[in-house]
Structure 1
Amino acid sequence: MQWKQDFTPISDHFWLSALVALIPILYFFWALAIKRMKGHVAGLTTLLIALLISVTAYKMPITMAVMSATQGAVYGLLPIGWIIITSVFLYKLTVKTGQFDVIRNSVLSITEDRRLQALLIAFSFGAFLEGAAGFGAPVAISAALLVGLGFNPLYAAGICLLANTAPVAFGAIGIPITAVEGPTGIPAMEISKMVGRQLPFLSVMIPFYLIVIMAGLKRTIEVLPAILVSGISFALTQFVSSNFLGPELPDILSALVSLLALTIFLKFWKPKQIFRFPSEAYSEVAVTAQAQLVTHTGGAVLKAWSPFLVLTAFISLWGVPEVKLALTGHYEGTNSLLKAINVLGHRLTFMPEVPGLNNKIISTSGQPIPAIYKLEVLGAAGTAIFLAAVITKFIVHISWKQWAATFGETLMELKLPILTIVSVVGFAYVTNASGMSTTLGMALAKTGPLFPFFSPFLGWLGVFITGSDTSSNLLFGNLQKVTATSVGMDPVLAIAANSSGGVTAKMISPQSIAVACAAVGLTGKESDLFRFTVKHSIFLIILIGILTFLQSNVLSWMIP
C-alpha cells in the first residue's frame, strides 16, 4: 500500500492545516518553557502528539507514521547519540586520570578571566570542532571543558550553544551548503559567497553578545579589545574563505585564526580586573591555580591536552571528503590505503530499508520517497572520537578495566539524554514524512513582498524541527528557490538566508538542548536551558530577517 502526501489535509484549507501542523511545535515550547518538563518527557509526549496528528489529520497510515519515527530514532542513536557518548567518555577519561587539572591550569596560564576563557573555548575552539565534525561534538566537548574550568553548568551549556551560532552554516566541512546544491541546482560556491556576506555580521557580534550575557555591559566593555580581536579576526577570515575558497574551510580557518590571534593578543594585553563568577572564592582560586601552574612543565601540559589533540586530528581526518567516502564504503579512487579502508568501511556500513515505509510515501510530484536506516558505523564522527579515547588510554596510562568502567559509567549517565535525543529526532522524521513541516514552510512562503524578511524563518523552523542546518537546507532549499523567483527575490539570497537563519535555531533545537545538557550533567534540566536560549534565538533570527530584507531591497549589490 502506498500513501500520497497532502499538505492541505484539513478540508483543503491551507491556513487551518498550517495551524494543525504547528501544534506539536507549540506543545514542545509550552512543555519546556512554561511547564518545565524534563527533556525526555517533553520529547516523548511531543513525538506522541506528532504521531497522533499525522494519523488523524494528515491521514498517514499508522504503520508508516510509526516506522518513520523508528527511522528518526535510529538516526538519533547513530550518529548523534554516539557522538555524545564518546565525547563525554573522552572528557571523563581526562578527569579520572587528573589530566583535566593540568588542562585547566594551562588555560589559566593564558588568562584567569572567565570572559576570555569563554571566547577561547566556546567561540574559537567550538567553531573549530563544528567545522571539523559538526553534529553535537562542538557543544558537547567545549561545554564539558568549560564546566571543568569551573563554569556553572547551565551557563557553560548556554554559552556554547550561543557561540555555536557563528560556524554552523559551514559546519562539518561545509556539508550544509554543498548538500543544498543538489536539490536547487545552484552552485555551492554561489551560496557560500552569499552566506559569507551574511554570517560575518553575526560573527562579529556573537563574542560581544556572549560576554554581555555572562557579565553585563560594564564588564563587557572592560574586555572590548579582546572581543574585537576575537570577533573581527573570525569574521574577516570567514568572509574571505567563503567567498574565495568555498564552503569547506571557513569554520576551520576562522577558528584557528581567531584562536591564534586572541592567544597572541593576551600575551601583550590583560584586563584591568579579572572576572570570575560571584560564587567563586576569588583569592583562593587564584592562589591555588598559580601554585599549581608552577609544577606543570611544557611536557605535562602537552600530555594533558593530547587526548583533545588526537581528537582534533581524528575528526579532521574523518571530514576529508575522500577519507569520508572510504570510511563509508563508497571510495572509487586508486589510493591503496583508502581502498583498504574502503573494504572495512563497506563492511561496517549498513543501509537496510525501513520496512513498511521505503518507497511507500508518494510525494506531490508523484515520486516514491526512499526510506533507509543509515548506519555508517566506521564513518560516524563518534567513531573518530571513540578511537581518540582508545589512544587516550595509552596516553594517560589508565588500565583497560578502569577504561571500560568509565565507559560503562558514561552510558549509565546518558540513558535519559539519549532517550530525549531519540524521541525528538523521531518527532522530526514524523513531521517530515507526514508533510507537516512542508505545510508550515508553505505558510511562510505565502508572505509575498515580506518574504525576504521571513525567508530566514524557514531555515529557523527547519533547524528547530530537524536539529540540522543540512537537513533544513534539504527540506526547504527548493521551496526557497521557487518562492523567491515568484516574488522577485534573488534565489541565491533566499537559499543562503535559509542556512543563515537556520543557525540561530541550533541553540533551541531539541537535539542540541539534549546534547548540551548531557555534556554538562544537567539531565532533566532541559527546560532551564531552553528558557535560557529561546529569547536569544528569537532576537538573532529577527536580525537575520532584517538583514536579508535589506539585502533584497536596498543592499542588492551584496548579492554575488
Structure 2
Amino acid sequence: MLLETFQPSLDPLGSPWLSALVAALPIIAMLVTLGGLRWKAHLAGPFSWLVAFLVAITAFKMPALLALSTSIHGFVYGIFPIIWILVAAIWMYEVTVAAGRFDDLKRTFFLISDDPRILGLLIAFCFGGLLEALAGFGAPVAITAAMLVAIGFSPLRSALIALLANTVPVAFGAVGLPVLMAARTGGFEDVLAISPITGRLTAMLCLVVPFLLLAVMDGRRGLKQCWPFGLAVGASFGVTKWIVSATPLYNLTEVFAAVISLVVTIVFLRLWHPAGGEEAATRIGVPIDSKLEGEGTGAVKADTDAPALTPQRIFMAVVPYLLVIVVFAIAALPPIKAALASTDVRIPWPGLSGLLDSAGKASAHQVYTFAWASTPGILLALVAIVTGLIYKMTLPAILGVLWTNVKKMRFAMLTIGSVVALAYVMGDSGQTLTLGMFFAGAGLAYPFVAPVLGWIGTYVTGSDTSANILFSGLQSGVGAQIAPGSHLDVEQMRALLVGSNAAGGVVGKMISPQSLTIAATAIGIPGSESTILRRIIGWSFALLALLCLLSGLMSTPVLSWLLP
C-alpha cells in the first residue's frame, strides 16, 4: 500500500500565468491532436493523458505512482459507469432495429410531419431533452444521433445535430443533479438560490439553439422555411425552464420543458405547415464528408409497402421509449433512488490513501464507488432486455446484439477511459484548479468570464456535474471577494457565479472528447471525432461568448433585474 501523501499546489511555478499555461497543456494537446492534426480519438486521448501525467509529475510535483494510480482509477470509471451507459443505450436502440420495429417508429414520426427538419428538432431537441432529464451520461446523444440517421440525415450531420441539441438540458439533466451539486459545493443550503439563475441563462439559449440546429440541418433554406417552428420550440422550452427552475420542482425542469414543448409544437403544426420539406429530404442526406460517410442515403420517406401503421404497431414502436420514461421516472422517486444508491459498493482505491485535495481534505478519488444499480446503465440494460422480450426475441438473440455492439466499441472504450484518466490526473494534481484560479484573477470583470470555468470543467471531465464539483467552491469564494464595490451584494454575486458555472458547462458538453466519441460511435463511424470537433467547436465558442456576455451583464444594472 502506497503511503505517500500529496496535496496539490495551485501555483507550483511561482507565477500564476506560467502555472496556468503549463496546466493548460493537456487541453491544448487534445485540441491540437484531435482538431488540428486529425488524429483518431483513441490515439489523441492517450497522448493527451500522457501530457497531463508528465505535467503532474514534473511541474506539479505529484508522485509518479500516485499519478499513475489516479489515472487507472479514472480509466476504470470511464469504463464503468460511462462506457456501460453508452453500450446499454445503443443496445436498446439496436434491439429495436434487430426486431424490425424501428421502421414503424420512423413511420410514426412521419405522421407528425413529413418535413425531416421538423422531425429533427422534435427528436434532437425535445425528445433528447427528455432523455437528458431522465438519464444523461451521453445516452441522449447516442440514441438521438442513431434515430436521426434512420430518418434520413447523413451520419455526420446527425452527430452535429445531436451534440448541439444536447446543450440546454444538461444543467438540469439526470434529474437535476448538476445544479444540485453546484449549490452544495458552492456552499448554498437551498438549491433555489442557484437553479433559477442557471435556468434563466440556459432558457435564453433556447432562443438560439433551435435556429442553429436548423442551420446545421438545411442551411439558410432551413432557417427561412422553418424559423416559425424553431421559435415555437425554443420559446415553449425556454419559458418552461424559466418558470420551473425557480420552483421546488427544479429537478424536473427538463421533463416539464421537453413534454410541454412537444405538446405545444404538435399543436402548432396543426396551424402552420413548413414549405420545402420534400426538397429538404433530399438535401439532409447529402454527406458532409463523403470520404467518411460514403455516397449518402437519399431521401427517406414512409414505406408505402409496409404493413398498415395501426395504433397497435405505433404503440409497439414507441414501447422502448415509454419504458425509458417510466423506468427512469420510477428510479427518480426518492425512496427508490435511495434504495438503488444503498447498493453502491465503495472500494478504497489502492495507492491513493495519501491523496488530498487543495484544501487538505481526503480526495474523493481515494474511494471507487461501484454503482452497479444506481447509474442509468443498468436501467437502460433492463429496458433493452424487456424490449427484446416484448418483441418476442430470444434471450440469446438479445445478448447477441449486445456482444456485437461491445465489439464495435473497443476503440470508444480506449478513448473514453483515457480521457477520464486525463481528467482525474489533471484534477488530483491541481492542474484544473490552477486554471480556475488564473481566471479568477479578473476582478470585477470576472462575471464576464465565469462561465468559462464551467466550459473548461465539462470539456475536461465530460460532465457538468463534475465541473460544478470542481469549480463551484472557487466561484463562490471569488464572488465573496469581488462583490464589495460591485452592483450586487455578496449573496447575489456568489449565486450568479455559481449559476454561471453550471450554465457554462452545458456548451462545453458538445465538444467534450467523451461526447464526440459517443456521437461517432452512434452514427457508425468510429474515428470521426476530429471531423465532428472541427465542425462544431465554433458553435461552442459562440454560445460560450453569449453566456459570458449575459453573465457579465447580470452583474451590472443592465441585466441584474434577471436575478431572482
**TM-score band, normalised by shorter chain:** over 0.9
Matches within 5 A, 1:505-520: 505-520=508-523
Q: Is the 8 A contact 1:74 1:373 kept in 2?
A: no
1:218–1:149 Cα change, 3 Å:
closer
CA distance in 1, matches of 2:523, 2:89: 11
1:557 matched to 2:561: yes
What does residue 439 of structure 1 align with?
A: 434
Please state how far the C-alpha of 1:552 moved relative to its aligned partner: 0.5
Please state how far the C-alpha of 1:401 moved relative to its aligned partner: 2.3
Secondary structure of 1:222's counterpart equals helix
Unaligned runs of 5+ in 1: 330-345
Secondary structure of 1:2's counterpart equals coil
CA distance in 2, matches of 1:294, 1:89: 26
Please state how far the C-alpha of 1:542 moved relative to its aligned partner: 0.4
What does residue 314 of structure 2 align with?
A: 301
Relative to structure 2, which stretch is displaced further, 369-378 or 25-34?
Answer: 369-378
CA distance in 1, matches of 2:60, 2:307: 66
Please state how far the C-alpha of 1:350 moved relative to its aligned partner: 1.7
Which TM-score applies when normalising by structure 2?
0.93
Please state how far the C-alpha of 1:375 moved relative to its aligned partner: 0.9
1:240 matched to 2:243: yes
What does residue 175 of structure 1 align with?
A: 177
1:30–1:355 Cα change, 3 Å:
same
Task: For 1:557, give the aligned amino acid.
Answer: W
Cα deviation, 1:157-206, whole Å, max 9, x if unaligned, reads 11111111111111111111111222222221110111122111101211
Task: For 2:406, give the aligned amino acid.
Answer: L
What does residue 361 of structure 2 align with?
A: 367
Task: For 2:363, give the aligned amino acid.
Answer: I
Q: Is the 8 A contact 1:318 1:381 kept in 2?
A: no
What does residue 212 of structure 1 align with?
A: 215
What does residue 289 of structure 2 align with?
A: none
Matches within 5 A, 1:320-335: 320-329=333-342
CA distance in 1, matches of 2:351, 2:494: 37
Please state how far the C-alpha of 1:136 moved relative to its aligned partner: 0.8
Please state how far the C-alpha of 1:393 moved relative to its aligned partner: 1.7
CA distance in 2, matches of 1:323, 1:517: 34
1:304–1:365 Cα change, 3 Å:
closer
CA distance in 2, matches of 1:130, 1:316: 12
1:460 matched to 2:455: yes
Q: Is the 8 A contact 2:412 2:521 kept in 1?
A: yes
Q: Is the 8 A contact 2:479 2:494 kept in 1?
A: yes
Q: Is the 8 A contact 2:7 2:358 kept in 1?
A: yes
What does residue 117 of structure 1 align with?
A: 119
1:283–1:365 Cα change, 3 Å:
closer
Please state how far the C-alpha of 1:444 moved relative to its aligned partner: 0.5
1:218–1:284 Cα change, 3 Å:
closer
Task: For 2:267, give the aligned amino acid.
Answer: I
What does residue 146 of structure 1 align with?
A: 148
Cα deviation, 1:315-355, whole Å, max 9, x if unaligned, reads 222233331210121xxxxxxxxxxxxxxxx3xx2211111
Out of 223, 246, 257, the position equivalent to 2:260 is 257
Task: For 2:63, give the aligned amino acid.
Answer: P
Cα deviation, 1:466-499, whole Å, max 9, x if unaligned, reads 1111111111001111112212261110001001
CA distance in 2, matches of 1:279, 1:452: 40
What does residue 381 of structure 2 align with?
A: 386
Task: For 2:379, give the aligned amino acid.
Answer: A
Report how many residues are paired. Answer: 539
Secondary structure of 1:134's counterpart equals coil
1:218–1:404 Cα change, 3 Å:
closer
Q: Is the 8 A contact 1:84 1:518 kept in 2?
A: no
Q: Is the 8 A contact 2:453 2:501 kept in 1?
A: yes
Matches within 5 A, 1:224-235: 224-235=227-238
1:486–1:384 Cα change, 3 Å:
same
Secondary structure of 1:3's counterpart equals coil
CA distance in 1, matches of 2:136, 2:221: 34
Cα deviation, 1:398-440, whole Å, max 9, x if unaligned, reads 1222212111101101111111111101100110000000000
Task: For 2:194, give the aligned amino acid.
Answer: I
CA distance in 1, matches of 2:17, 2:335: 46
Secondary structure of 2:545's counterpart equals helix
What does residue 391 of structure 2 align with?
A: 396
What does residue 94 of structure 2 align with?
A: 92
What does residue 136 of structure 2 align with?
A: 134
Identity among equivalent positions (%) equals 36
What does residue 493 of structure 1 align with?
A: 496
Please state how far the C-alpha of 1:128 moved relative to its aligned partner: 0.4
CA distance in 2, matches of 1:272, 1:555: 38
CA distance in 2, matches of 1:315, 1:180: 22
Secondary structure of 1:522's counterpart equals coil
Q: Is the 8 A contact 2:358 2:430 kept in 1?
A: no
Please state how far the C-alpha of 1:245 moved relative to its aligned partner: 3.4
What does residue 14 of structure 1 align with?
A: 16
Matches within 5 A, 1:412-423: 412-423=407-418
Secondary structure of 1:373's counterpart equals strand
Aligned-CA RMSD value:
1.8
Q: Is the 8 A contact 2:439 2:449 kept in 1?
A: yes
Cα deviation, 1:126-182, whole Å, max 9, x if unaligned, reads 000111111111111111111121211111111111111111111111111111222
Q: Is the 8 A contact 1:178 1:247 kept in 2?
A: no
Secondary structure of 2:168's counterpart equals coil
1:224–1:363 Cα change, 3 Å:
closer
CA distance in 1, matches of 2:265, 2:147: 18
Cα deviation, 1:195-235, whole Å, max 9, x if unaligned, reads 12211110121111210222122331211221121111111
1:81 matched to 2:83: yes
1:77–1:529 Cα change, 3 Å:
same
Please state how far the C-alpha of 1:528 moved relative to its aligned partner: 0.8
1:17–1:265 Cα change, 3 Å:
same
CA distance in 2, matches of 1:92, 1:294: 21
CA distance in 1, matches of 2:123, 2:225: 19
Secondary structure of 1:185's counterpart equals coil
What does residue 342 of structure 1 align with?
A: none
1:390–1:363 Cα change, 3 Å:
closer
1:424–1:280 Cα change, 3 Å:
closer
Q: Is the 8 A contact 2:237 2:260 kept in 1?
A: yes
What does residue 351 of structure 1 align with?
A: 346
CA distance in 2, matches of 1:249, 1:25: 33
1:404–1:13 Cα change, 3 Å:
same
CA distance in 2, matches of 1:153, 1:87: 18
What does residue 341 of structure 1 align with?
A: none
Task: For 2:459, give the aligned amino acid.
Answer: F
1:203 matched to 2:206: yes
Please state how far the C-alpha of 1:502 moved relative to its aligned partner: 1.0
Q: Is the 8 A contact 1:193 1:246 kept in 2?
A: no
Task: For 1:126, give the aligned amino acid.
Answer: G
Secondary structure of 2:449's counterpart equals helix
What does residue 161 of structure 1 align with?
A: 163
1:393–1:283 Cα change, 3 Å:
closer
Please state how far the C-alpha of 1:279 moved relative to its aligned partner: 6.7
Which TM-score applies when normalising by structure 1?
0.93
1:276 matched to 2:281: yes
Please state how far the C-alpha of 1:361 moved relative to its aligned partner: 2.0
Task: For 2:481, give the aligned amino acid.
Answer: S
Unaligned runs of 5+ in 2: 287-295
